[in-house]
Every structure is written in structure tokens, then in C-alpha cells.
Amino acid sequence: MTNQSQGKETTMTEIASGQGVPVAAQASRWSRERVVALLLDQSTLIVFVAMLVVAMLLTDRFYTFENFTNIMRQCVPLGVVSLGLLFVILTGGIDLSVGSLMAIVSVVVALAIPSYGLFGALILGLLTGTFFGAISGALVAYFRIAPFIATLAVMTIARGAGLIISKGQPEFINDEGFNDFGIASFLGLPTTVYVLVLCFAVALFLYRKTVFGRRVISIGSNEIATRFAGIRVERYKFGVYLISGFACAVAGIIASTRTGVGSPILAIGFELDAIAAVVVGGASLAGGRGRVFNTIIGALILSVISNVMNLLNIPGYHQQVVKGIIIVLAVLLESLKLRLSSRS
């Protein structure tokens, strides 16, 4: 498990088991090693804070209340999707269908509101996302198709299905309550932010406190040993795609509350941002390693990058290049971290 300051703990164990003698420096509370370990442990957060400082130096339009609410609002769909995706990635899988699922959910909700009402439409939207998640999950867990391929297939199927039912046209939503939700504020924060906070709390609870979370980490760390422990690995692998599908539905709904449109071409390429957020948050694509809090920070980092570049009027094409470079740097930092902690 990715416990806090793992590097330091390993050292302590070896000392405790009599394999070595501690050097004097180890004893002092704020020794260099410990500070370095702490900094490495919180590297995602540190990168984020550094980014806020840099943003302030680059433009004076960054530190305004309006801009902050703007960033938060933008960050919500990415954050929600990333949290769902984190569980998939923790098992060593991947979900490429997230963007397509957001799109089809937004279309389903938009089309369903006139006949089923807002509440019915939302339920239908959530069911749609979960249903596609179930397809991915079944393909991966029970038909043993590689997650990359299975979710690639579901990605194109869902995108196509969205285009079919909307006839390729964006569907305008005429529901005031729905559209207000995306732009309204509550207690000074955008209402949608509360959805993200709720998703974060649920994800953290699942990850830390439940049998499910334990299984997910165990499967990602060593699927064979988990199976050898008599655990029905398939169920949990199925489950994580279900969660991811549900999270996409929530994100798709939130995205359309902001625009007031159900769009079949919503969130094209969104899977890359979501994967980037999880990875920038320090998760390993090999599974078993990743944290809920850092995933949110990862999503915030990506949102801040876009925001700052927009404020600086950097054109979209350039933004993509910069984003790519930042992802590479984040992953490099992560692997450097691993190497340093295994050395000490």
C-alpha cells in the first residue's frame, strides 16, 4: 500500500530486524533524509503550490476570486472522472471510454428531460454511464480482454451511439433548474464544486475504509497472489469499471449543466486529460499505487495550467505542447522519487 513516507519506514524495519546499524543522523528528528523523504512524499502538492506561485508571477489576473471559481468550475468534470478512473488504474487497468460516456450521457439526459422530467432524465443518464461501464467491466473481468482494447471498443461504440441518438446534433436543454445548477453558487462556491467534494469523500472512504478498496489495491499490486488468496478477483475488476462509468455519467451531467446542451461531441480526447490527472497525481499505470487526494491535485494542476495559459492568451495548439511536457515532467519526478526512496 502506498503508505506515507514508505522509504523511511522500510529503513526502520531493516534496522528493527537487526539487518543493520542505524547511522547517527537517522536519530535526529529533522535530519536531511527525513526532510527529503517528506518533500518527496508530498511532491504532487509541492508541484501544485509551486505552480500557483509561478502563475502569480506570470499574470496578475490569476489571483482574483472570479478566476478561482472559474478554475474550480472547470475542474469539476475532470476531477470526478479522474476519481473514477483512479480505481480502474489502481487495479492495473485503464478506461479510454470516459469522454465518450460523458457525451452519450449528456445526450441521453437532454433527450429524456421533455418526456421523463428532470429527475427521470438524471436517473436515466446515470444508468447509461453505469451500463457502459458494466460492458467494459464484463469484457475485462469475465471475457479477459485487455482493458486498453475493451475500453477502446466501448469508447467508439458509445461515441457512435451518442451520435446516432442525437442525429449528430447538439440537443438544447430547456430546464431552468438544470441549467442554473451549472452556473449557480452556494455559500460563495460554485454548486458543482460540492458534487466534486462529495465524490472525493466517497472515493476516499472507498479507498481507505472498505473491503472493496483493499481488494482493488491488492489486485493491482499482485493479481495472482490475490487470486491465490481465494478472492474472486473478477468481481472487483468488474466493479471498478462500473464506478468509472458512473463517475463519467456524473461528469457528463455536470458538463452539460454548464453549457445547457447535450452534445454528442462533448469531451473528445478527455480520456487523455483524465489519465494525465491520475498519473500526475502519482498513480502507477501498473496498478497498486495511487492516492485519492493526489488525484484531485493532479486534476487541479491540469486545470490551472489551462487557465494560466488562457489568461496569457497562449493559443490552443501551443497549450497542448506545454501540457504534454508538464505530464512528462510529472512522471519523471515520480520515477525519480521511487528510485530515491528505494535507495534510502
Partner 1 sequence: MQSPAIVIEGVKKHFGGVRALSDFNLKVEKGTIHAIVGENGAGKSTLMKILSGIYTRDAGRILLDGEEVHFETPQQSREKGVGIVHQELALSPDLSVAENIFLDDLGQGTPLVDWKSINTRAGQLLKSFGFPIDPRRRTGDLTVAYQQMVEITKSLAKEVNILILDEPTAVLTAPEIDLLFDNLRRLKAKGVTILYISHRLEEIFRIADGITVVKDGVTICDLDPKICSENDIITAMVGRELKSLFPEKLPPRDEPLFEIRHLTRRGVIEDINLTVRKGEIVGLAGLIGSGRTEIAECIFGLARYQQGEMVKNGRKVSVAHPADAVAQGIGLVPENRKEQGAVLTMGIDANMTMSRLGGVSRLGIIRHGHEQTLTQKLREQLRIKLGKLSDPVMSLSGGNQQKVVLAKWLNVGCDFLVFDEPTRGVDVGAKSEIYNIIHRLAEEGKGLLVISSELPEVIGLCHRVYVMADGHVAGELAGDELSEERIMSLAIPKRSIQ
Q: How far is the CB of 205 from partner 1 (least distance, A)?
A: 8
* Of positions 44, 151, 166, 221, contacts partner 1 by CB under 8 A: 221
Nearer to partner 1, 6 or 310 (CB): 6
Q: How far apart are alpha carbons 253 and 29 in whole angstroms? A: 49
Q: How far apart are alpha carbons 118 and 96 in whole angstroms? A: 29
Q: How far apart are alpha carbons 337 and 258 in whole angstroms? A: 39
Nearer to partner 1, 144 or 209 (CB): 209
Q: How far apart are alpha carbons 3 and 24 in whole angstroms? A: 25
CB 134 within 8 A of CB 238: yes
Residues in contact with partner 1, shown as a per-residue x/- string from 271 to 310 under the rule CB under 8 A: -----------------xx---------------------
Instruction: Check residue 169 and report its DSSP letter.
Output: S
Instruction: Take residue 317 and report the three cell numbers written for it.
Output: 495548439
* Of positions 18, 177, 188, 269, contacts partner 1 by CB under 8 A: 18
56 lies in the binding site for partner 1 (CB under 8 A): no
CB 125 within 8 A of CB 103: no
* Of positions 1, 56, 183, 328, contacts partner 1 by CB under 8 A: 1
Residue 310, judged by CB atoms within 10 A of its CB (0-12, 13-18, 19+), counts as: middle
Nearer to partner 1, 184 or 201 (CB): 201
Stretch that binds partner 1, among 25-33, 144-152, 255-263, 319-327 (CB under 8 A): 25-33
Cell 501551443 belongs to residue? 318
CB 139 within 8 A of CB 154: yes
SS3 76: helix
16 lies in the binding site for partner 1 (CB under 8 A): yes
Nearer to partner 1, 33 or 175 (CB): 33
- How many residues touch partner 1 under the rule CB under 8 A: the total is 44
**Is residue 263 left, alpha or beta, with left meaning phi > 0 and alpha meaning psi from -120 to 50?**
beta
128 lies in the binding site for partner 1 (CB under 8 A): no
115 lies in the binding site for partner 1 (CB under 8 A): no
Name the site residues for partner 1 (rule: CB under 8 A).
1, 3, 6, 9-23, 25-26, 33, 209-212, 214-215, 217-218, 221-222, 224-232, 288-289, 343-344
